[in-house]
Chain A
């Protein structure tokens, strides 16, 4: 039972355009959501997060949107840069736990 789903294994975007990565979850107990970025041969690194009491969180070029009723969140990267090319994992947690449930990841390729 996959509680966090990233249905797009890969995404290609032109440099300078917007990248939109999507994530759906099924567990209504999740109340905190995170995005991690992973480069090859490195561990995942934290990118941005959002609490369930918010519907948007912005950090520079990165914005995460949360639609609780649809159990859906998305990560927007504007403008996309070649250095953003990586695998992006959506993760969720709840009830004050650090135990994260991850999606399978979306590989983003930003084409110069």
Chain B
């Protein structure tokens, strides 16, 4: 158990819809990362938050947005969903401050299926 909790574990929705994925980081971790793993792909970095502020952005689509709340949990919002958005979405957390060993602790992922 990594200590990172993601909900929901599975989500099936239709094209054009909007979903929210939730992540609770390990206790004490200030950084939260979102990664996307599509079929036969490695994990693609989407976005990082540190203590409530956006710290780094990867290849995140404009239809996607995220935020980190004062209690440090994070939400990833995916809107106007397309079939290609079907993927595993992982949240990870790490201790502060950024710039340490690079070890991330991953949740079990949220599997999104867009029909």
Contacts and interface: CB of A to CB of B under 8 A. Distances in A.
Interface of A: 4, 6, 32, 34, 36, 41-46, 49, 89, 91, 93, 96-105
A91 B102 CA distance: 10
Nearest to A42: B108
A105 B44 CA distance: 12
What is the interface of chain B mostly: helix, strand, loop, or mixed? Answer: loop
Contacts, number: 67
Contacts of B92: 43
A41 B99 contact: no
Interface residues of B, number: 29
Given A42-B108, A43-B2, A43-B108, A49 B42 contact: no
A105 B109 CA distance: 17
A109 to B, nearest CB: 17
